[in-house]
Amino acid sequence: MAPKVLVSDKLSETAVQIFRDRGIEVDFRPELGKDKEKLAEVIGDYDGLAIRSATKVTEKILANAHKLKVIARAGIGTDNIDKEAASKKGVIVMNTPFGNMITTAEHAIAMMFAVARQLPEASASTHAGKWEKNAFMGVELFNKTLGVIGAGNIGGIVCDRARGLKMKVIAYDPFLGQEKADKMGVEKVELEELLKRSDFITLHVPLTDQTRNILSRENLEKTKKGVRIINCARGGLVDEQALADLLKSGHVAGAGFDVFTEEPAVENPLFGLPNVVCTPHLGAATTEAQENVALQVAEQMSDYLLTGAVTNALNMPSVTAEEAKVMGPWIKLADHLGNFIGQMTDEPIKAINILYDGVVSEMNLGALTSAAVAGIMKSVNPEVNMVSAPVVAKERGVKISTTKQDKSGAFEGYIKITVVTDKRERSIGGTVFSDGKPRFIQIKGINIDAEIGRHMLYTTNEDVPGIIGTLGQTMGDHGVNIANFTLGRADAGGEAIALLYVDAPVPSEAIKALHDTGKFQQIRELKFDVS
């Protein structure tokens, strides 16, 4: 029986025809994207679901998706999909991360021009027959300094286009290495310097805990007087009320926003202000981009449903069914190891070195390496997956090397990841026990044996009495239950580490209390995707 796919958003007829040509039964019902009840009612009949942004794939809808094998999003953003619920259900989530990059970058450039020359206001005035030639004095982009926050795929295209306009381009991106910056022809700077020097600032980062409110009131006040702010990335990156206040005061000369903290945006502090250009999330809204991502979705879904091939999956590795049986726990381990280092590293990464020892050295190292790199990168970009992670790392100038060796120690096999930055090298090793559970076995050269939990706390300290008691007492005082407690030290009286597996996120008050003791060199809360 042929697989059956539901298209619940507007997708091009060409994409729909690809499904038919590949022998897949397809129902094109774009009206279901906004009808959650009806979608939940019919979803149980389908093997695949192709969507854009209108369809919200919730846990409730997935509960009825008894046959569903794959959800594919035409576009990069998957915020409208409950990925955790999908993973628990065994449903693969795919996206098309590269189909609309140029379109989104061009929209940011267009917004810069619109704000620089007040084009929307001038157009409205002229349509009204006012001919206010002297009212719309603009500025050139030529020779201005453009500050780019996020120099990945889309940000990199913006940098290239801006250099073509003869702008001076400076970029802030924790994952942008100096070599890559040199190749791009941009000056790599810290955020503080970017704020002070930029005539225009454009954002091209995903919305994460690290980037949320990156242009806060405090940071906006540090900007150069007369700056113009462009956001075509994600709502929530900029404090919109603070920006509105600074626009009114004259500190900020203009703004161009395509995305907003709350969407659809029917009310916003920026609305109605002079020299603020607003568009309704049009970043990817070109015929070319829509066609590209639609065709990619149709091809990716067809390949998976007909052959089992997995492309651009956010929650499944690109491995064969046979490999997955053996490699599943090791792939999860590689992801956890990478995620540990990714959460611990705040500076640009120059190199990632991965050692495969023993039984794991004979497995599909490409998939394992992709899982490790994805684990590292997703701490700053949650949309990165096993397929795109190596590409993203390469584009950012990160050198990836792998080494394999025969069994060299007590374990049948293990993986060790070392990340190199300008400031330090950081390493972590792990293995998979006979029960199939990944374990951390070495951090910073210190041997441990740590079970991996969803919520963990990592600390470093001098090996002195009282540390265990302090950790236990502080967690208890703040209502945090410790499921497991692992200690390790380099030598007596030397550097020591502790890794706590806890039942719930550690409150900020508890972390502050630990800091205030003065007993710890480092305290870091960690989160892992543990099913």
Q: Please name the amino acid found at residue 300.
A: Q
What are φ and ψ of residue 258, in 5° steps?
-105, -15
Q: Provide the 8-state DSSP code for 322.
A: H
Name the packing angle between helices 467-477 and 508-517 (round to 10°): 150
Tell whether omega for the bond before 264 is within 30 degrees of 0, i.e. cis.
yes
C-alpha distance from residue 229 to each of 108, 254, 385, 485, 498 (Å): 10, 7, 30, 47, 43
Which residue bears the tokens 């701490």? Answer: 379
Distance CA 459, CA 183 (A): 38
The DSSP bridge partners found for residue 527 are 455
Which residue bears the tokens 């990168």? Answer: 377
What H or E segment, with its residue span, contains residue 35? none
C-alpha distance from residue 167 to each of 123, 163, 258 (Å): 26, 5, 22
Burial of 175 (0-12, 13-18, 19+ CB in 10 A): buried
Strands 413-421 and 446-451: unpaired
Provide the b/e sequence for 272-286 (b: ≥16 CB within 10 Å): ebebbbbbebebbeb
The residues annotated as belonging to the active site are 234, 263, 281
Q: Is 8 helix (H, G, I), strand (E, B) or coil?
A: coil
Distance CA 28, CA 7 (A): 5
Nearest CA among 310, 311, 297 for reference residue 26: 297
C-alpha distance from residue 17 to each of 41, 267, 298, 300 (Å): 25, 40, 9, 14
CA-based radius of gyration for the chain:
25
The DSSP bridge partners found for residue 27 are 6
